[in-house]
C-alpha cells in the first residue's frame, strides 16, 4: 500500500462510545481501499459506498504469489463481558498497516443479529479500533446470513415435504411425479442431481426407462426416520421460545407431526460450510453431502438425496464472496462467515484468508480471529480450519485481561449488566497470582501446535503497573515468545505498536514447518475426543451417555469416523462447567450427545448442556438502539 495516505485519528479523552467514534470518522470510498490493496476493478462488486464483495478470481490471478505471514488472535477463558479479541485484532492490524507500513489485512467473522440485539452487542471492535461503518457491519451487511437462513430453511422444508409425500404415495406415484413424462415427446429424463443419487445407490443407468421396479423403489423412497432428523430450522434472532416446537399442525400435515427446534442462523451447518469451503465447486459438493438424518435402516440421507443441493448453492452464490470493509485508520478488512464457536468451529472463512494472504504478499500480514477461548476457537482453528485449508500459521496472539485472570483466581462472579466488584477495579496482586494459571495453561496448549505465541494484555485504565509486570513475567515463564500491554482501545493503532513489533518478531522466529495438528484423523472418534479432553482441557477422562455411544457407533458404521472433532462446550471454563475457573483438575468430561456436520466436515460432541439458540436477557441491547429520524443515523449500537 505504497503512497497510501492513512486517515489520522482524532483521539478524545475520555473515550466516547463506539458509535460516537465510528460516526465521527468519514470512511474512505471502498473503491479507494480496493485499489490500494491491488484489486482489479473486475474483481469487486460494490454494495454501496463503503462495502464491496471480492471475487474468488483473485486467488487464481495471484496463485504464484507467496503468502503473507499468517496470525491468529485467540484468548483466555473470558468473563461474560468478553476480553476484547475483536478489538485487539483490529488494533493490531491498524498498528501493522497504518503505523508500521506493512501490507496488512484483518479477516473477521460477520456478527449475528442475535448478540447485536441481545446481550453482547456488535462485533466491530471497540473504542479507536473498529471496523467502519460499524452500523453497516453489525446490521445485515451484504446479506450473507440471510442467504444462509434461506438455504437452511429450504432444506428443512424439503425434508418434511418428502416425508409427507412418501407417506401418502405409492412407489409408482412417487416415480410418476419425481420423473414425469415429457408432454412434448413422451420421454422421461433424470434431473442432473438425480444422477448423484443413482450413483450413491450403485445404479449406473442414466435412462429412466431401464430401471427395474426394485431400483425405482430404492430411488424414490428415502424412508427418512422422522425421529432421528438432525436438521433444524434457523433464524438470526435470540428467540428462546423456539428451542422446542412442533411442526405438522396443518390439516394435511397432522399425520406427520413431530417435535423439532430452531437454531440461530450462525449455528447452521451451511454457515460452517461457507467458512470451510475453498471454491464454488467445493461449496457445491459440501452442501450436497450435508446429512439431515438417517433412513430407518440407518443410511445417511443427504441434501443431494433430497434433490436440493444445487438450489442451496444458487442461494449461496453471492455469499461465497468475502466483503471488503475498512478500519478507522483505513486498513483493509475482509469480513466473511460467522460460525458459532460452540457447535461449529468459530472462525472466519478460508476463502477470505486465502485472498488476503495473496494480496498481502511475502512481507505482509493477515490477522484472523478464532472465536471464544483458545481451548475452543484456537484448537478448532488449527485442527479443523488449517487442516481443511492446508495453510500454516506463523503466530498466535492470546488476548488476556487482568480482570478475567482475577476472576480465574477466585474473584467475585462477573455478571453482564452488573457493576464490577472493586476486586476488579483496584490492584489485587494475590488474586492475579492465583489466576495466571489459566493463561499459562493456554500458552502451553498453543505451543503444542508449533506456533509462536504472543500475549496481548488488553489494557483497562484500572490496571496497575505491578499487575501488568506480573502478567508479563508469568507469560514469559509459561513459554510465550513475548507479552506486551496494548492500549489500542484508547489509542488505536498507535497503542498497539509494541504488540505489532512483538508479532512481527515472533513470525520471523517461527518456522512454519514446525506446525502440527493435535491428533491424526485415523484415530477413532473416541480417541480424538479423549485427546482433546486430556491434552487441551486437562480432564482425567471422558464419559459418554448411551445416546452419545449410539451416535458414535452409527457414524463409525457410516464411515464418518475419520473426520476431525469440533467440541461443543462452554467458553467460560477449561472444563464443561462454566463455574469452574482457573485450571480445573480431577474432572471427567461428560459427552451427552454427538452430532455430525458431514458437509462442513467434522463431528461435534456436545459437552454438558449447550443451547443452540440463545435467549434474550431481561434488558437486551435493543433498548438502546434507535434511529435519529432527522438525520437517518443509527444510535445506541455498541
Catalytic residue among 74, 87, 327, 368: 87
From 33-47, 115-129, 369-383, 394-408, the region with the lowest mean pLDDT: 115-129
Catalytic residue among 105, 117, 231, 372: 372
Chain segment 233-244, per-residue pLDDT in tens: 999 998 899 999
pTM of this structure:
0.94
What integer pLDDT is reported at residue 183 of this predicted model? 74
137 is catalytic: no
What integer pLDDT is reported at residue 438 of this predicted model? 98
Question: Secondary structure of 419-471 in the HEC alphabet?
Answer: CCCHHHHCCCHHHHHHHHHHHHHHHHHHHCCCCEEEEEEECCCCCCHHHHHHH
Read off the pLDDT band of 124 (50, 70, 90): confident
Q: Beta strand pairing status for 233-235 and 262-264?
A: parallel
372 is catalytic: yes
Helix, strand or coil, per DSSP, at residue 213? helix
Catalytic residue among 51, 53, 85, 162: 85
120 is catalytic: yes
569 is catalytic: no
528: Cα within 13 Å, side-chain hemisphere: 26
Read off the pLDDT band of 1 (50, 70, 90): low
Read off the pLDDT band of 249 (50, 70, 90): very high
197 is catalytic: no
365: Cα within 13 Å, side-chain hemisphere: 31
Read off the pLDDT band of 360 (50, 70, 90): very high
Give CA–CA dist 463/425, Å, rounded. 7
Query: Do residues 377 and 371 touch, judged by C-beta distance below 8 A?
Result: yes
Catalytic residue among 51, 109, 289, 403: 109
Give CA–CA dist 391/68, Å, rounded. 11
The answer, yes or no, to whether the previous bond of 14 is cis (omega within 30 of 0) is: yes
* pLDDT above 80 (res 205): yes
Give CA–CA dist 473/452, Å, rounded. 17
Give CA–CA dist 473/461, Å, rounded. 20
Chain segment 25-66, per-residue pLDDT in tens: 999 999 999 999 999 999 999 999 999 999 999 999 999 999
* pLDDT above 90 (res 506): yes
pLDDT-above-90 percentage for the chain: 85
Catalytic residue among 51, 53, 102, 120: 120
Helix, strand or coil, per DSSP, at residue 492? helix
Domains of the chain: 67-123+338-512 (3.40.50.300), 146-313 (3.30.1510.10), 525-606 (3.10.410.10)
Phi, psi (deg, nearest 5) at residue 206: -115, -5
Which helix (H) or strand (E) element contains residue 477? helix 465-477
Please give the mean pLDDT across all residues of the chain.
94
From 32-46, 234-248, 299-313, 315-329, the region with the lowest mean pLDDT: 234-248
46 is catalytic: no
Query: Can you tell me the mean pLDDT for 430-447?
Result: 97
Query: Do residues 580 and 77 touch, judged by C-beta distance below 8 A?
Result: no
Query: Do residues 437 and 408 touch, judged by C-beta distance below 8 A?
Result: yes
* pLDDT above 90 (res 387): yes
**Distance, CA of 581 to chain centre:** 24
Q: Beta strand pairing status for 332-335 and 323-327?
A: antiparallel
Catalytic residue among 117, 489, 560, 602: 489
Provide the β-strand partners of residue 46.
52
Catalytic residue among 123, 151, 337, 341: 341
pLDDT-above-70 percentage for the chain: 99
Chain segment 584-622, per-residue pLDDT in tens: 999 999 999 999 999 999 999 999 877 788 888 888 888
580 is catalytic: no
Query: Can you tell me the mean pLDDT for 122-134?
Result: 89
What integer pLDDT is reported at residue 120 of this predicted model? 66
Q: Largest alpha-carbon pair distance within the chain? A: 86
Catalytic residue among 117, 460, 587, 602: 460
Q: Is residue 314 exposed (0-12), middle (13-18) or buried (19+ Cβ within 10 Å)?
A: exposed
* pLDDT above 70 (res 143): yes
The answer, yes or no, to whether the previous bond of 133 is cis (omega within 30 of 0) is: yes
Query: Can you tell me the mean pLDDT for 344-366?
Result: 97
* pLDDT above 70 (res 569): yes
* pLDDT above 70 (res 2): no
What integer pLDDT is reported at residue 448 of this predicted model? 97
* pLDDT above 90 (res 429): yes
Query: Do residues 115 and 145 touch, judged by C-beta distance below 8 A?
Result: no
447 is catalytic: no
Amino acid at each position: 500500500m505504497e503512497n497510501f495516505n492513512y486517515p489520522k485519528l482524532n483521539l478524545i479523552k475520555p473515550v466516547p462510545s463506539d458509535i460516537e467514534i465510528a460516526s465521527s470518522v468519514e470512511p474512505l470510498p471502498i473503491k479507494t481501499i480496493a485499489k490500494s490493496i491491488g484489486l482489479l476493478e473486475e474483481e469487486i462488486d460494490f454494495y454501496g459506498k463503503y462495502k464491496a464483495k471480492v471475487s474468488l478470481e483473485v486467488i487464481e490471478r495471484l496463485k504464484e504469489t507467496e503468502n503473507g505471514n499468517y496470525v491468529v488472535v485467540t484468548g483466555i477463558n473470558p468473563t461474560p463481558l468478553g476480553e476484547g479479541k475483536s478489538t485487539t485484532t483490529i488494533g493490531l492490524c491498524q498498528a501493522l498497516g497504518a503505523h508500521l507500513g506493512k501490507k496488512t489485512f484483518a479477516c473477521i467473522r460477520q456478527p449475528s443479529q442475535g448478540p447485536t440485539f441481545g446481550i453482547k452487542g456488535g462485533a466491530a471492535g471497540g473504542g479507536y479500533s473498529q471496523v467502519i461503518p460499524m452500523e453497516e457491519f453489525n446490521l445485515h451487511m451484504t446479506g450473507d446470513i440471510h442467504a444462509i437462513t434461506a438455504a437452511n430453511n429450504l432444506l428443512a422444508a424439503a425434508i418434511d415435504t418428502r416425508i409427507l409425500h412418501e407417506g401418502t404415495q405409492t412407489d409408482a406415484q412417487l416415480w410418476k411425479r419425481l420423473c414425469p413424462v415429457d408432454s412434448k415427446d413422451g420421454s422421461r429424463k433424470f434431473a442432473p442431481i438425480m444422477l448423484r443419487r443413482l450413483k450413491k445407490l450403485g445404479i449406473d443407468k442414466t435412462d429412466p426407462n431401464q430401471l427395474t421396479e426394485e431400483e425405482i423403489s430404492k430411488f424414490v423412497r428415502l424412508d427418512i426416520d422422522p425421529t432421528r432428523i438432525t436438521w433444524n430450522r434457523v433464524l438470526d434472532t435470540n428467540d428462546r421460545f423456539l428451542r422446542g416446537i412442533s411442526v405438522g399442525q396443518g390439516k394435511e400435515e397432522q399425520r406427520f407431526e413431530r417435535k423439532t427446534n430452531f437454531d440461530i442462523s450462525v449455528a447452521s451447518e451451511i454457515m460452517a460450510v461457507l467458512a470451510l469451503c475453498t471454491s464454488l465447486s467445493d461449496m457445491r459438493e459440501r452442501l450436497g453431502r450435508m446429512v439431515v438424518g438417517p433412513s430407518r435402516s440407518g443410511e445417511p440421507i443427504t441434501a443431494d438425496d433430497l434433490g436440493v443441493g444445487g438450489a442451496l448453492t444458487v442461494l449461496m452464490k453471492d455469499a461465497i464472496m468475502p466483503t471488503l470493509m475498512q478500519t478507522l485508520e483505513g486498513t483493509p478488512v475482509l469480513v466473511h462467515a460467522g460460525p458459532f464457536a460452540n457447535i461449529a468451529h468459530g472462525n472466519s472463512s478460508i476463502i477470505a484468508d486465502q485472498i488476503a494472504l495473496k494480496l498481502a504478499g511475502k512481507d505482509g500480514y493477515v490477522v484472523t480471529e478464532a472465536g471464544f477461548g483458545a481451548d475452543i476457537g484456537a484448537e478448532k482453528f488449527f485442527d479443523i480450519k488449517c487442516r481443511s485449508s492446508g495453510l500454516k500459521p506463523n503466530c498466535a496472539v492470546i488476548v488476556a485481561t487482568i480482570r478475567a485472570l482475577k476472576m480465574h483466581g477466585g474473584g467475585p462472579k462477573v455478571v453482564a449488566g452488573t457493576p464490577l466488584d472493586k476486586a476488579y477495579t483496584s490492584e489485587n496482586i494475590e488474586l492475579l497470582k492465583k489466576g495466571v494459571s489459566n493463561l499459562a495453561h493456554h500458552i502451553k496448549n498453543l505451543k503444542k501446535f508449533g506456533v509462536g505465541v504472543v500475549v496481548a494484555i488488553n489494557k483497562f485504565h484500572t490496571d496497575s503497573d505491578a499487575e501488568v509486570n506480573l502478567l508479563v513475567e508469568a507469560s514469559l515463564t509459561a513459554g510465550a515468545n513475548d507479552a506486551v500491554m496494548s492500549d489500542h482501545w484508547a489509542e488505536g493503532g498507535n497503542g498497539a505498536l509494541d504488540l505489532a513489533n512483538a508479532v512481527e518478531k515472533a513470525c520471523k522466529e517461527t518456522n512454519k514447518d514446525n506446525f502440527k495438528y493435535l491428533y491424526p484423523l485415523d484415530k477413532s472418534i473416541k480417541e480424538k475426543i479423549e485427546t482433546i479432553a486430556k491434552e487441551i482441557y486437562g480432564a482425567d477422562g471422558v464419559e459418554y451417555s448411551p445416546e452419545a455411544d449410539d451416535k458414535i457407533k452409527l457414524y463409525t458404521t457410516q464411515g464418518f469416523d475419520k473426520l476431525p472433532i469440533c467440541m461443543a462446550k462452554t467458553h467460560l471454563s477449561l472444563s464443561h462447567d462454566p463455574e469452574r475457573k482457573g485450571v480445573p483438575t480431577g474432572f471427567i468430561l461428560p459427552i451427552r450427545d454427538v452430532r455430525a456436520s458431514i458437509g462442513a466436515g467434522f463431528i461435534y460432541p456436545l459437552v454438558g448442556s449447550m443451547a443452540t439458540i440463545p435467549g434474550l436477557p431481561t434488558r437486551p441491547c435493543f433498548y438502546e438502539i434507535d434511529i435519529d429520524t432527522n438525520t437517518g443515523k443509527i444510535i445506541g449500537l455498541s
